[in-house]
C-alpha cells in the first residue's frame, strides 16, 4: 500500500461542464483550454473526455503534439503562439493554429515561405496589457498578416482583465469593437467568466478554462451555483491521531495551542502534494462525512485537522476530502489567499490521478 493520497478525476463531470458551457455560449464554438496539464487534471484524460469540443487551446507546442498524437484532427490553438522560428515547421506539419501577438512573431512568419500556414489568430491588446498589438499598431500588423503568401485563415482575438469582477468588460469591449469594426474575420474573446456573465463577448469562439473543471471564475459564487460539477476530488486518509491537553502546541512554529482537551487528526497531504501551505487554521476540510477545519501549519507531507467535535469513531484510517464535491476548492483557495486555478494546477506529480 502506498501513501493514501489520490486525485479522483470525474470524466462525466468534465463532459457535463462542457455541456453547461455550451448552453451559455450561444452559437459560439468551444475552444476548450487544457493548458497546464488541463489545470492539473491530466491533459490526455481531459482531451479524451472533452472530444465533443470544437478545438483545444494550449500554452506550448509540446502539449499540442500530445493532443495530435491521440488522433485529434480538429483545431488546436497555441495561446502564446510560437516562441522561436524553429517551431514553425512543426506547426505546419501538425496544423497547429497560432496566436500572433507581437512583431517578432510576424517576422518569423515573414520568413516562412509560401507553403500554406495554419490558421492565425491575431491578438489585440485591448487593456489587459499582457499580449497583443496595441490599437495603434493593430491595422498594420493585420496588413502584414494578409500579405503572407502562405496565409489560409485569419481570426481576431483579445483577452479580458476583469470579466470576473464588477468592472466587467465594458471598457475593453469598446476598444475591441472600435478596432475590429468591419473586419470580416471570426473573433474569439470570452474566457469562463465572460461566457457566464457577458454574452455580448461570445462572438465565434469561446475559450473556457476553469469552468470546464467545475470551479467558479467568480469570487461571489461557487461552481455548483453555476450548474458546474467539480472534476477533481483530492482525497487522503488520517494516518495518526493525537490527544492534546490545554496548552499543548501543534506542529511547526507551534502556531496552534489547544485551549481544551483536543483530538487532532494527522492527514497524509501536505504542500508537496499541492495543498497550499498558506491555508491557515480554520480552512474547511471534510472527514468521513463531517465538515471540520485544519489546524496549525501545513507541512510538506502532512497537515493537522480538528477531530474534537467529531464522533470518536472518526480516527485512524478515516477518509479525508481536501477538496471536491463535498468541499469546494474555491473555499480552500480563499482560506489560503489564492484562487482555485492555482490549487488545481499545483496537483503534484506524486499525487496520482484516478480516472473515473
The answer to whether 346 and 37 are in contact (CB under 8 A) is no
The C-alpha atoms of residue 198 and residue 34 are separated, in whole angstroms, by 22
Q: What CA dihedral angle connects 98, 102, 103 and 104, to 10 degrees?
A: -70
Residue corresponding to grid cell 509540446: 62
Q: From the candidates 19, 74, 252, 291, which is the catalytic residue? A: 252
Report the nearest approach of ligand PLP to the CB of residue 108 (Å): 20
Q: What CA dihedral angle connects 65, 70, 72 and 77, to 10 degrees?
A: -30
Cβ-proximal residues to 172 (8 Å cutoff; 6+ apart), any chain: 126, 127, 128, 158, 160, 161
Using rule CB under 6 A, residue 237 touches ligand PLP: no
Using rule CB under 6 A, residue 270 touches ligand PLP: no
Closest among 348, 349, 329, 324 to 339, alpha carbons compared = 329
Using rule CB under 6 A, residue 192 touches ligand PLP: yes
Grid coordinates in use for 129?
496589457
C-alpha 13: how far from chain center: 15
185 is catalytic: no
213 is catalytic: no
Report the nearest approach of ligand PLP to the CB of residue 333 (Å): 14
Closer residue to ligand PLP, CB minimum distance, 121 or 286: 121
Cβ-proximal residues to 200 (8 Å cutoff; 6+ apart), any chain: 169, 173
Determine the residue with CB nearest ligand PLP.
209
Using rule CB under 6 A, residue 214 touches ligand PLP: no
Q: Are strands 76-78 and 154-157 parallel, antiparallel or unpaired?
A: unpaired
Using rule CB under 6 A, residue 79 touches ligand PLP: yes
Using rule CB under 6 A, residue 251 touches ligand PLP: no
Closer residue to ligand PLP, CB minimum distance, 210 or 329: 210
The answer to whether 348 and 295 are in contact (CB under 8 A) is no
Closer residue to ligand PLP, CB minimum distance, 123 or 263: 123
Using rule CB under 6 A, residue 81 touches ligand PLP: no
Closer residue to ligand PLP, CB minimum distance, 106 or 190: 190
Report the nearest approach of ligand PLP to the CB of residue 284 (Å): 23
Rg (CA), the chain: 23
Region at 261 (left for phi over 0; alpha for psi -120 to 50; beta for the rest): beta
Stretch binding ligand PLP (CB under 6 A), from 114-122, 178-186, 205-213, 343-351 = 205-213
The C-alpha atoms of residue 115 and residue 95 are separated, in whole angstroms, by 12
Report the nearest approach of ligand PLP to the CB of residue 135 (Å): 18
Using rule CB under 6 A, residue 207 touches ligand PLP: yes
Using rule CB under 6 A, residue 101 touches ligand PLP: no
Region at 214 (left for phi over 0; alpha for psi -120 to 50; beta for the rest): left
Stretch binding ligand PLP (CB under 6 A), from 18-26, 204-212, 225-233, 292-300 = 204-212
Closer residue to ligand PLP, CB minimum distance, 101 or 237: 101
Closer residue to ligand PLP, CB minimum distance, 159 or 198: 159
Using rule CB under 6 A, residue 217 touches ligand PLP: yes
Give the residues across from 58 on adjacent strands: 78
Closer residue to ligand PLP, CB minimum distance, 33 or 239: 33
Active site residues: 35, 252
Residues that bind ligand PLP in the complex, under the rule CB under 6 A: 33, 35, 79, 159, 191-192, 207-211, 217
Amino acid at each position: 500500500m502506498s501513501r493514501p493520497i489520490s486525485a479522483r478525476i470525474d470524466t462525466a463531470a468534465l463532459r457535463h461542464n462542457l455541456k453547461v458551457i455550451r448552453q451559455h455560449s450561444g452559437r459560439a464554438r468551444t475552444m476548450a483550454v487544457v493548458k497546464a496539464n488541463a489545470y492539473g487534471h491530466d491533459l490526455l484524460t481531459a482531451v479524451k473526455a472533452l472530444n465533443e469540443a470544437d478545438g483545444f487551446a494550449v500554452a506550448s507546442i509540446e502539449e499540442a503534439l500530445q493532443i495530435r498524437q491521440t488522433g485529434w484532427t480538429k483545431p488546436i490553438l497555441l495561446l502564446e503562439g510560437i516562441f522561436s522560428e524553429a517551431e514553425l515547421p512543426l506547426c505546419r506539419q501538425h496544423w497547429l493554429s497560432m496566436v500572433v501577438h507581437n512583431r517578432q512573431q510576424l517576422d518569423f512568419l515573414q520568413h516562412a515561405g509560401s507553403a500554406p500556414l495554419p490558421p492565425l489568430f491575431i491578438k489585440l491588446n485591448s487593456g489587459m496589457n499582457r499580449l497583443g498589438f496595441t490599437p495603434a499598431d493593430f491595422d498594420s500588423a493585420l496588413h502584414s498578416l494578409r500579405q503572407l503568401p502562405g496565409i489560409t485563415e485569419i481570426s481576431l482575438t483579445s483577452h479580458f482583465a476583469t470579466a470576473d469582477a464588477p468592472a466587467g468588460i465594458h471598457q475593453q469591449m469598446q476598444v475591441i469593437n472600435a478596432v475590429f469594426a468591419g473586419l470580416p474575420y471570426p473573433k474569439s474573446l470570452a474566457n469562463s467568466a465572460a461566457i457566464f456573465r457577458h454574452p455580448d463577448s461570445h462572438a465565434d469562439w469561446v475559450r473556457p478554462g476553469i469552468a470546464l473543471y467545475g470551479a467558479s471564475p467568480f469570487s461571489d459564487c461557487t461552481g455548483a451555483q453555476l450548474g458546474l460539477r467539480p472534476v477533481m476530488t483530492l482525497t487522503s486518509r488520517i494516518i495518526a491521531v493525537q490527544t492534546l491537553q490545554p496548552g499543548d502546541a501543534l506542529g511547526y512554529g507551534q502556531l496552534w495551542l489547544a485551549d481544551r482537551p483536543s483530538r487532532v487528526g494527522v492527514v497524509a497531504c501536505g504542500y508537496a502534494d499541492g495543498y497550499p501551505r498558506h491555508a491557515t487554521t480554520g480552512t474547511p476540510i471534510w472527514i468521513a462525512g463531517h465538515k471540520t477545519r485544519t489546524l496549525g501549519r501545513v507541512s510538506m507531507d502532512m497537515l493537522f485537522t480538528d477531530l474534537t467535535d467529531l464522533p470518536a469513531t472518526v480516527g485512524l484510517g478515516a477518509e479525508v476530502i481536501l477538496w471536491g464535491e463535498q468541499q469546494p476548492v474555491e473555499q480552500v483557495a480563499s482560506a489560503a489567499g489564492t484562487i482555485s486555478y492555482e490549487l488545481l494546477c499545483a496537483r503534484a506529480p506524486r499525487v496520482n490521478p484516478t480516472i473515473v
